[in-house]
């Protein structure tokens, strides 16, 4: 049961991140590159540019989608029995 919950968390969390990227990482030219989303700010000017472009808000939204997906994966992993039932004697 614990293994099923952990697998559910990992799979659903990854799917949540992908869905979050597909929803929130669109700009006028298509999708933002993963490098621009994952790369940390190198200095204060870079942090200001990312803030103005909304990259920090986009990151937050994508991470929230991943967390929601992980929560759903936990619930589904804990609730699903998967056909493994104990026999009472």
Give residue-wise pLDDT tens across range 44-81: 887 888 778 788 899 999 999 999 999 999 999 888 86
| 8 Å CB contact between 71 and 19 | no
Measuring CA to CA, how many Å separate 31 from each of 28, 41, 42, 58? 8, 20, 22, 12
Give the global pTM: 0.78
The tokens describing 59, both together, are 């990151």
Task: State pLDDT tens for residues 4-38.
Answer: 889 999 999 999 999 999 999 998 888 988 888 88
Query: Which candidate, 13, 55, 20, 19, places its Cα nearest to that of 37?
Result: 55
Average pLDDT over the chain reads 86
């Amino acid at each position: 049961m614990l293994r099923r919950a952990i697998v559910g968390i990992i799979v659903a969390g990854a799917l949540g991140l992908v869905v979050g990227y597909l929803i929130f990482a669109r700009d006028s030219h298509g999708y933002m590159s993963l490098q621009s989303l994952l790369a940390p700010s190198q200095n204060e000017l870079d942090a200001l540019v990312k803030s103005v472009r909304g990259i920090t808000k986009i990151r937050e939204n994508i991470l929230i989608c991943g967390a929601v997906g992980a929560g759903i994966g936990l619930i589904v992993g804990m609730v699903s029995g998967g056909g493994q039932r104990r026999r009472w004697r």
